[in-house]
Structure 1
Amino acid sequence: MELWLLILVSVPLGVFLKALVNIVFLSQTHKPPPAPFTFPVIGNILWLRKSTFELERAIRSLNQKLGPIVTLHIGSRPTIFIADRSLAHLALIQNGAFFGNRPPCSSHEQSDWQQSDQHLLLRSKLARPPTGDPVRVVDHLQNAMFCLLVFMCFGDRVEDKKIKEIEQVERRMVVNHSRFNILNFWPSLSKIVLRKRWAQFLQLRKDQEEVILPLIRARREVKEQRLRNLNVEGNEYVLSYVDTLLDLQLPDEKRKLNELEILNLCNEFLNGGTDTTTTALQWIMTNLVKYPQIQEKLLLEIKEVVGEGEEVVKEDDLGKMPYLKAIVLEGLRRHPPARLVLPHAVTKDTVVGEFVVPKNGTVNFMVADMGWDSKVWDDPMAFKPERRICPGHGLAILHLEYFVANLILSFEWRAVDGDDIDLSEKQELTIVMKNPLCAHISRRDAGSFKSTGS
């Protein structure tokens, strides 16, 4: 009896003492990440006057003064920026369960994309001007990638005119992304102070609905028709991203997504996939023009894998090309399309290094700074695919490998005479080239491989 009484008393007492020690210990030895001077009430809201590009530079200067983890107080949540790979590992790997959420904001693909990919790539090739004229590459890359993602999103061949309408309205949203981003902070106040900007945003949102909602409704009708006609041959049916959204059941609310929620996810799919992949592809091709010896080495690897007489690199070939994979990954390290990954939200106070990241804080990881860390990478600002060969995963990597391999196999890429390749950057939704790549592009003849191999 006395033993049970002792257990009943000691267990709650032990839990209480442990909690008390944790509170005292954390308060004495761990502090929130350091922050610059913060104005009462408004916090660091004035930092939003800076563009994303300027903000990154400002945070980089804060890192030099305050260390690799800093806090900005913008809106109702503290925003933490982490620029150190070890702290990122502590947060995402060792404490991944607490960093797994996303802050409030507006997130399947399967394969039959390959046949469409070849068709779209061919269209992009045929769209170039006569031989001898420099080609402004980004327009063709962007169009090819957007056409591919529209096909993956809606599962049907969408006519060119409709694709152009979608591309234009999505592009307008991308270009105005930084202007509209401030509307997320204190919306009730911004609706008064920034009335014109809100009106522009709502009009653009209406334009998106008019262009994309008919495609979602048409896809819903196709699905319902297939369910009514189960005996119809389905060999030509391609599962699309919208199909998965129409089937998605929200477990907590016990309902399916409504049209506007599906529209939001389609916008993310099209904008995220097009802009980031096209930007990365242009940076990679720019470096292959700037360093023709790397282009030549890649061509030799491609030819060894696909063999003589083959005009297209297939998806199955990509896994046999380690140098191609190294080029893509080195391009993403040296020129990441986004300096920050999607933000994470913290579900409880969590110790990261010497600091406590507060519950409900928004955490951003500065992947560009990690990729340029001279403590990890020798000569980090140089483009050196030979520095590592490691596997890459994901749809974006697959698309980049596929496009790069086929563009190098089919064409020789050369700098415009007298033109030094400019690697200057400019901020849009992603970090794009300030002066888009222009290059001389000529079709490789059948004997080009024999001459390069001798």
Structure 2
Amino acid sequence: METWQIFLGVILFALPLTLLLFRSRKTGGGGTRRPIPPGPPSFPVLGSMVWLTNSPADGESLLRRLFARYGSIVSLRVGSQLSIFVADRRLAHAALVERGAALADRPTLASVRIMGENDNTITRASYGPVWRLLRRNLVSETLHPSRVRLFAPARSWVRRVLLDKLRDESSSGGAAVVETFQYAMFCLLVLMCFGERLDEPAVRAIAAAQRDQLLYITGKMAVFAFFPSLTKHLFRDRLRTAHAMRRRQKELLVPLINARREYKSSGGEPRKETTFEHSYVDTLLDIKLPEEGDRPLTDNELVILCSEFLNAGTDTTSTGLQWIMAELVKNPAIQEKLYEEIKATTGDDQEEVSGDDIHKMPYLKAVVLEGLRKHPPGHFVLPHKAAEDMEIGDYLIPKGATVNFMVAEMGRDEREWEKPLEFSPDRFLPGGAGEGVDVTGNREIKMMPFGVGRRICAGLGIAMLHLEYFVASMVREFEWQEVAGEEVDFAEKNEFTVVMKKPLRPRLVPRRS
């Protein structure tokens, strides 16, 4: 049994008198109001009893059992915090779109407070002026189509890096491609973030620091949601480790930030041929926080925002690529149909797939959408917080409750998708059930791999571009075949994203000389 479970169990059994605190919720004036969603028994202040026998890391399997028992919306308590989980797409639309403003806030993370950090990031900020400023800056100054076009040479360079590494690995038999995907996407995101094409050792050092910290936070820091005033002492070694990881990030990223300061102060004159004219950091250096006296962002805030940018665009995209390519390995007829579309669009003489080409490939888009439907990299969205009491379906969502949504369950719902566990891109072509599906969820929610509503992923457009561009490039260059003894296994494993438990190891057969 894990330490946190022993800790929680001792408290639960040492305080049996807390049972006396149970009481029914009533409104003032004697009238009753809608109940909160059902869930397993819980102790006030201490939380749901299921945490005695279930780890937060196994939360998804626990929730599936609870949905089977209680219905498509359930409640759990983590300490004194009420958390509500929604698996129904119509309820999700009612909550995130029809009542979007009421659920646009974020809960405060105990681990962030214990680390001494603030919430001045796009993913963590409350729904207010700081969030609007940071998100508007990202969308208009880095992710706007005119800015995305500036990074076309970067994508072309990363395409060559990716294909060269895959070519080298294919000569030794089955290639473990996920690490190559992660490295290539990190090359691209580091360049977009810092405006500099770094060498391989530098990229790998940043990638290792980012990944180590990300996995540590998701795997080891959840305990601070239970009685942070106590757990910060009981688990102080974890805090020391987390602080050391943040210091390592600063050692690697602050010099790159300072290099862009110098670049901007010199009037934007490239120092060398690997320097790009625009970067995400450039835009962050121009930000002033009007709510805090027009001060600029601190180095700590810049590091955390850069870390957020790298994590958001690297792990999710590399995970999506692995799942999509695994499906193409397992479904050679679909892969061949996709290859024929790519070949017909680009011809044999064209050096690479261009950004314009991918807009002419409806089957490519269908393959990517089907991959995201069946294998969304994140099975939950980032948590929302109710800004006011609100009613969803037959239940009350109290002000301050944390609300989350089951992304994978909606995309695999057999009531909405015929044979949802089959990989069938044709469903997104004209006449299919997914024709014209709106991944933003504004009209209706059938799948929501990027979330929906006011906190929808700001990088939706560029994520689709990267997935389509790199899938097309890899299929054009290689035939992806299954290897005897390394058959594709679609079992899942929770990390920061939901990855393949058994990493994909295909045989890559070059299609072009």
TM range (shorter): 0.7 to 0.9
Q: Which amino acid aligns with 1:153?
A: C
Corresponding residue number in structure 1 for 2:463: 396
CA distance in 2, matches of 1:59, 1:360: 21
CA distance in 1, matches of 2:306, 2:260: 13
CA distance in 1, matches of 2:505, 2:243: 36
In the alignment, is residue 224 of structure 1 matched against residue 265 of structure 2?
yes
User: Helix, strand or coil for the counterpart of 2:43?
Assistant: coil
Displacement of 1:26 = 11
Larger CA deviation: 144-153 vs 382-391: 382-391
Deviations 1:280-316 (A, max 9, x none): 1000000000000000000111112112312311011
CA distance in 2, matches of 1:27, 1:159: 67
Corresponding residue number in structure 2 for 1:10: none
In the alignment, is residue 129 of structure 1 matched against residue 169 of structure 2?
yes
Change (3 A) 1:24 1:251: same
CA distance in 1, matches of 2:151, 2:229: 43
Corresponding residue number in structure 1 for 2:307: 267
Q: Which amino acid aligns with 1:190?
A: T
In the alignment, is residue 116 of structure 1 matched against residue 120 of structure 2?
no
Change (3 A) 1:59 1:402: same
- Is residue 344–residue 364 contact of structure 1 (8 Å, CA) maintained in 2? yes
CA distance in 1, matches of 2:79, 2:264: 42
Corresponding residue number in structure 1 for 2:284: 245
Change (3 A) 1:225 1:186: farther
Identity %: 43
Alignment of 1:51-450 (within 5 A): 51-52=55-56, 54-105=58-109, 106=119, 107=122, 108=138, 109=142, 110-111=147-148, 112-127=150-165, 128-129=168-169, 131=171, 133-176=173-216, 177-226=218-267, 237-254=276-293, 255-389=295-429, 390=436, 393-445=460-512
Change (3 A) 1:237 1:437: closer
Corresponding residue number in structure 2 for 1:9: none
Displacement of 1:162 = 1.6
CA distance in 1, matches of 2:240, 2:281: 29
Normalised to the residue count of structure 2, the TM-score between the two structures is 0.77
- Is residue 132–residue 440 contact of structure 1 (8 Å, CA) maintained in 2? no
Q: Which amino acid aligns with 1:314?
A: S
Change (3 A) 1:427 1:175: same
In the alignment, is residue 30 of structure 1 matched against residue 68 of structure 2?
no
Question: Where does structure 1 differ by over 6 angstroms across 4 or more consecutive aligned residues?
Answer: 23-26
- Is residue 388–residue 400 contact of structure 2 (8 Å, CA) maintained in 1? yes
Larger CA deviation: 256-265 vs 178-187: 178-187
Q: Which amino acid aligns with 1:99?
A: L
Q: Which amino acid aligns with 2:260?
A: R
Q: Which amino acid aligns with 1:438?
A: R
Change (3 A) 1:219 1:50: farther
- Is residue 79–residue 227 contact of structure 2 (8 Å, CA) maintained in 1? yes
Q: Which amino acid aligns with 1:409?
A: R
Displacement of 1:250 = 2.3
Please list every run of 5 or more consecutive structure 2 residues that lacks an aligned counterpart in the other structure. 1-26, 110-118, 123-137, 430-435, 440-459
Change (3 A) 1:291 1:148: same
Q: Which has the higher contact order (CA 8 A, sep 6+)?
A: 1
Report how many aligned residue pairs link the two structures.
422
CA distance in 1, matches of 2:80, 2:380: 20
Larger-Rg structure: 1
How well do the aligned residues superpose, as a CA RMSD in angstroms? 2.6
